Amino acid sequence: MRPMQPENTIDAPGLSVGPTVGSMVGPYRLVREIGRGGMGVVFEGVHSEIGQRVAVKLLLPSGSSKPSSTKRFLGEAKALSRVAHPGLVHVLACGEAPNQAPWIAMEYITGQTLRRRMDQHPGGLPIFAAVGFARQIASAIAAVHKAGIVHRDLKPENVLLTRDDEVKLGERAKVLDFGIAKWVDDDAGLTTEGIILGTAGYMAPEQCVGDQSVESPADVYALGIILYECLCGARPFVGPAAAVLRQHLFAEPPPLSTRVPGLPNELHALVSTMIAKEPSLRPSSDDVAYALRSLEDGLAGTPDIGEPTFRSFSPAIEGAITEPNLPTFPSNTGGTTTERAAFSPSNEPVPPTPVARPKQRLVFAAAIAGAAVLGAAGWWTQQKVKSPPAAILPGMVYLAGGTFVMGSSEAELTEACTSLKGGCTPEEKPQLDREKPARSVTVSAFQLDTTEVTNEKYASFLNITANLLDVRDDRDDKYPRFVMDRELGHLLVDLHPDKGGIQKDPTGAYTVRSGRAQLPVVQVTWDGAVQYCRHLGKRLPTEAEWEHAARGPERRLFPWGNEAPRCDGVRSGREDDRACPGLPAELGEVGSSPQDVTPQGVKDLGGNAGEWVQDQFILPYYGDCGSCVNPMVEQTVPLAEDYRIFRGGTFWSVAWLVRGSTRNRWKRTQVMDGVGFRCAVGM
């Protein structure tokens, strides 16, 4: 919406003279023209009845004569209306009336484009400002990507900086102009292979060749170019459009370190991964936002107390870096009868439902700071098994990796049901079938937390990141209960007084409920687990890594071996007639089950709390994984249908559920009193 020379009329189909200043478009009276772009012209408008001030965008005549252009134009409204995020412009209304140009009414925002700001600082923005604005853009784009939308035309002209006292910089970056956005459920006919859409200076290599399957990594690339330009005042590739496209495809950019002396190595490395030629090597927008959030605090010079500044995601780079000393403070749709009901807060707003095509896509967690990138493409990647590192991170166990047989055969499932105490019921057979087929899998070396994350550690994490969180009250009892990520709108943890172990006290601090400090944190969503691990520069283990830790190459039946679980040795089957009916159904302190320890020293994989892992749950349960090297499953699916795997037995599980091959599922947005997590680090 950058200011342009005003023109009072536009031509619309069927009209000799289009809308002018003073005329009506829908319920809005046009006041003045404020901007003009490739597809549309933007007016300031005022609602004729309530006086609401809006920005009205109308399709230019050069595009309105084509049905596909009209559909793409109105698709901007469709794209934006799906996602609520402070970094996006809110769509208020749209229309396509006879004898009137198609139009979209959006919130009216005053401010300055990022391009204008950069023009005022030809040598580059201050580093903290460049990182802060890029982080805000990444957060907005991450929300868009979760809704199955790709912007495809990110550039400084499409970012508006507007005053917002709620953010550190005092300004909020708002992403504009989704006119060529690709929304993955309804783009048929709007793009054609070989047609290039975007702006040459910021186009990803896959866009430069007219690739019709352009997806979210293209936006990460564009943001990487924007951040590069913000830091040094120039894009990495310049010249005529055709020459720039060739450079995107074949040329290496001048290193930022030569253009900006003293730039933190972590920032240089992050930008380098963002503008990698190969889409699969770029981090996700979510990972970019998180990395920049940590960098932003450190660069601004005022990090939140106890919050670590940016760290590599790789212990091979970190060396002997230890887990931060976190401060302490005073003290259900699952499907089978064995999966307990979850609590889904009915008083929470329903998140936007992403709609996506039913194919697996590439998902990558970037190891910044020059570390190797751990890839995951549906089932993807090849990495070497390494020797133990010089230093194991505190509280973690090193696992050498290797090849093992993952899953179970029909004969093994039959044997488990007939030989184990309590057996299996017919209703449980579908859950058992999730373990088929057995297949050979290879995982690289990794480190895994010795125990599940405790209430004490999670409460400390919440206190450290409190300025990024909102807490919503229980609708009925009016106490602080639902901890939300403010920007992404994700529920992280439910502070249920009976099922959980954390509360928010009258001073505003997150504290541990009496006697629950060393219990595993439960009532935490998949997103809440991911955020905690990322905070420490870690991640959730993949499903293959988890099973390798639980079974080993010898394919142990249980994490500790082949001996059946004892009631005094494993916290499982509590108050269950098929297992340990005389023991109370409750969690125990982490690491307190003497039998439930792997030969390598990993504790509680068999019982106590189930554990979130990275992978999605899809059908068929185990799809084709090709060479099956470091496999991980990830698809673009509606958020309401996004089931994630949790592994391991729980305090209420019977014997067959405690085995190292058992697979469970739960919605990523919901919580359960028996599901927690532990973190991993790739090598």
Average pLDDT over residues 65-88: 71
Average pLDDT over residues 528-552: 93
Q: At what angle do helices 217-232 and 127-146 cross, to 10 degrees?
A: 170
Q: What is the CATH number of domain 24-107?
A: 3.30.200.20
Count Cβ neighbours within 10 Å for each residue of 273-295 and write b for 16 or more, e otherwise: bbbbeebbbbbbbbbbbbbbbbb
**How crowded is the C-beta side of 682, counted as CA atoms within 13 Å?**
26
Distance CA 434, CA 430 (A): 7
Query: How would residue 305 be classed by pLDDT, with cut points 50, 70 and 90?
Result: very low
Query: How would residue 76 be classed by pLDDT, with cut points 50, 70 and 90?
Result: low
Nearest to 664 by CA among 447, 444, 342, 421: 342
Q: What is the pLDDT of residue 146?
A: 84
Q: Quick one: what percent of the chain has pLDDT higher than 90?
A: 48
Evaluate if residue 258 carries a pLDDT over 70: yes
Could you tell me which residues come within 8 angstroms of residue 615 by beta carbon, excluding any fewer than 6 positions away? 542, 543, 632, 633, 634, 644, 645
Q: What is the pLDDT of residue 450?
A: 98
Count Cβ neighbours within 10 Å for each residue of 583-615 and write b for 16 or more, e otherwise: beeebbbbbebebbbbeeebbbbbbbbbbbbbb
Q: What is the pLDDT of residue 416?
A: 92
Most confident of the following: 22-26, 171-175, 597-601:
597-601
Q: What is the pLDDT of residue 59?
A: 78
Query: Is 326:460 a contact under the CB 8 Å cutoff?
Result: yes
The residues annotated with a catalytic role in the active site are 153
Q: Do strands 675-676 and 610-616 pair parallel, antiparallel, or not at all (unpaired)? A: parallel
pLDDT in tens, 311-332: 222 222 222 222 333 222 222 2
Query: How would residue 272 be classed by pLDDT, with cut points 50, 70 and 90?
Result: very high
Q: Quick one: what percent of the chain has pLDDT higher than 70?
A: 76
**Alpha helix segments (H runs only) across 30-163:** 61-64, 67-81, 114-120, 127-146
Q: What is the pLDDT of residue 61?
A: 64
Average pLDDT over residues 615-638: 84
pLDDT in tens, 636-668: 777 788 999 999 999 999 999 999 999 999 999
Q: What is the pLDDT of residue 560?
A: 98
**Three-state DSSP class for 467?**
helix
Average pLDDT over residues 554-570: 96
**Three-state DSSP class for 55?**
strand
Evaluate if residue 218 carries a pLDDT over 60: yes
Q: What is the pLDDT of residue 295?
A: 86
Q: What is the pLDDT of residue 105?
A: 86
Evaluate if residue 622 carries a pLDDT over 50: yes
pLDDT in tens, 94-128: 887 666 678 888 888 888 999 999 999 999 999 99
Q: What is the pLDDT of residue 680?
A: 95
Neighbours of 110 (CB within 10 A): 10
SS (HEC) of 475-511: CCCCCEEEEEECCCCCEEEECCCCCCCEEECCCCCEE
* pTM (2 d.p.): 0.60
Distance CA 652, CA 410 (A): 25
Average pLDDT, the chain: 78
Q: What is the CATH number of domain 112-310?
A: 1.10.510.10
Tell me which of 36 and 450 has the higher pLDDT. 450
Distance CA 342, CA 332 (A): 4
Q: What is the pLDDT of residue 18?
A: 53
Q: Which H helix or E strand runs over 432? A: helix 429-432
DSSP state of 528: H
Are the folds of 24-107 and 112-310 the same? no
In the CATH scheme, what architecture does the domain 362-452+526-682 have?
A: Alpha-Beta Complex (3.90)
Evaluate if residue 628 carries a pLDDT over 60: yes
The dihedral over CA atoms of 506, 512, 515, 517, expressed in degrees to the nearest 10, equals -170
Return the domain boundaries, the chain. 24-107, 112-310, 362-452+526-682, 459-512
Q: What is the pLDDT of residue 152?
A: 86
Evaluate if residue 77 carries a pLDDT over 80: no
Q: What is the pLDDT of residue 601?
A: 97
Nearest to 205 by CA among 274, 284, 115: 274
pLDDT in tens, 363-399: 223 233 322 222 222 222 233 334 555 478 899 999 9
Helices and strands in the chain, H and E counts: 16, 27
Q: What is the pLDDT of residue 611?
A: 98
